[in-house]
């Protein structure tokens, strides 16, 4: 499905990114494996993870090159795209998968913890997409696959930075889809639900938390890869601006914000009338301020 397509996968040295890259190579893609080899919090550098995935792809008969530039700068993103063009002569797709975590309860979160996470996730998705955009426009084709998260779509404890970045990525993807559809460029999101380094910091202080983590561990990163392969292929030519979630063997199409319920008052509203009439009418449609309505609290089908 990806024969001859050149695709850059960021954060591809392990976990979900690695499995996506391996699956794309099996489908004929030529890969740029980008990973700076940092810790989960984004510290340090190691060229080893990216090169090991390249070696794995080549051992399987595929073709790939390694890149260790950071997506957290425009220059780094340009270097990643330049690697694709230097090695293979073009770029056809990008998977914005690179990420870090700096979890902290909100009132204790530092400015540096906020900035670091947004730089990699939101700025990184922007920088990579922008670096590809001119090439995609010129060749009148291209696919962007962005990794979002249910932490952004639903919310999560201790992840205000990560949640804000991931919901920002979703909005970025939808706007790119609108801006570039006339150039046959697609932009879609996947909210992956799988055991990887990015979720290994989930606490297991209680039996309930341990049970939830044990369930997550059954959902491997390889389960995410088929959808990413499909979205990067020409078979997905009509799929644009969508948000999907993968949970084990299930694929969800996620809803996008639309009005749920409205109230009207011909004479207009006052704070008092909102309190007495408006808000009580709307309250029945409120969403819970927790994750009890999260699809991932359900048993897998």
Q: For residues 22 and 53, is the Cβ–Cβ distance under 8 A? A: yes
Q: Is the pLDDT reported for residue 236 higher than 90?
A: yes
DSSP 277: I
Q: Please state, in angstroms and as integers, the Cα–Cα distance from residue 100 to each residue in 36, 118, 145, 197, 221, following that order.
A: 11, 9, 18, 9, 17
What is the share, in percent, of the chain residues with pLDDT greater than 70?
Answer: 85
Structure tokens belonging to residue 105 = 């309860």
- Please list the active-site residues: 162
Task: Tell me what pLDDT residue 42 has.
Answer: 57
Which carries the bigger pLDDT value, residue 221 or residue 43? 221
Angle between helices 124-139 and 160-180 (to 10 degrees): 10
* Model pTM score: 0.88
Least confident range of 66-70, 106-110, 220-224, 238-242: 220-224
Mean pLDDT, residues 208-217 taken together: 65
13-35: pLDDT as tens digits: 999 999 999 999 999 999 999 99
Mean pLDDT, residues 269-279 taken together: 95
């Amino acid at each position: 499905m990806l024969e001859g397509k050149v695709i850059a996968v960021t954060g591809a040295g392990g976990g979900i990114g690695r499995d996506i890259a391996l699956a794309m190579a099996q489908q004929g893609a030529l890969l740029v494996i980008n990973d700076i080899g940092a810790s989960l919090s984004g510290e340090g550098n190691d060229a080893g993870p990216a090169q090991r995935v390249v070696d794995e792809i080549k051992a399987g008969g595929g073709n790939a090159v390694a890149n260790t530039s950071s997506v957290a700068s425009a220059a780094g993103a340009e270097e990643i795209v330049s690697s694709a063009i230097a090695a293979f002569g073009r770029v056809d797709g990008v998977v914005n998968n690179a990420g870090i975590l700096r979890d902290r309860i909100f009132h204790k979160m530092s400015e540096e913890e906020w900035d670091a996470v947004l730089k990699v996730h939101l700025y990184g998705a922007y920088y990579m997409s922008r670096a590809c955009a001119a090439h995609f426009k010129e060749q009148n084709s291209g696919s962007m696959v962005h990794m979002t998260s249910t932490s952004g779509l639903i919310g999560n404890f201790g992840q205000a930075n990560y949640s804000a970045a991931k919901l920002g990525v979703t909005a970025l993807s939808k706007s790119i889809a609108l801006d570039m559809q006339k150039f046959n460029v697609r932009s879609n999101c996947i909210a992956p639900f799988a055991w990887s380094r990015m979720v290994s910091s989930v606490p297991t202080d209680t039996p309930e938390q341990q049970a939830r983590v044990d369930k997550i561990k059954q959902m491997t990163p390889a389960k995410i890869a088929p959808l990413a392969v499909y979205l990067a292929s020409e078979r997905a030519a009509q799929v644009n601006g969508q948000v999907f979630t993968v949970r084990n063997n299930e694929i969800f199409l996620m809803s996008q914000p639309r009005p749920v319920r409205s109230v009207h008052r011909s004479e207009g509203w006052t704070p008092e009338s909102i309190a007495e009439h408006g808000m009580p009418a709307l309250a029945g449609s409120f969403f819970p301020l927790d994750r009890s309505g999260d699809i991932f609290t359900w048993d897998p089908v």
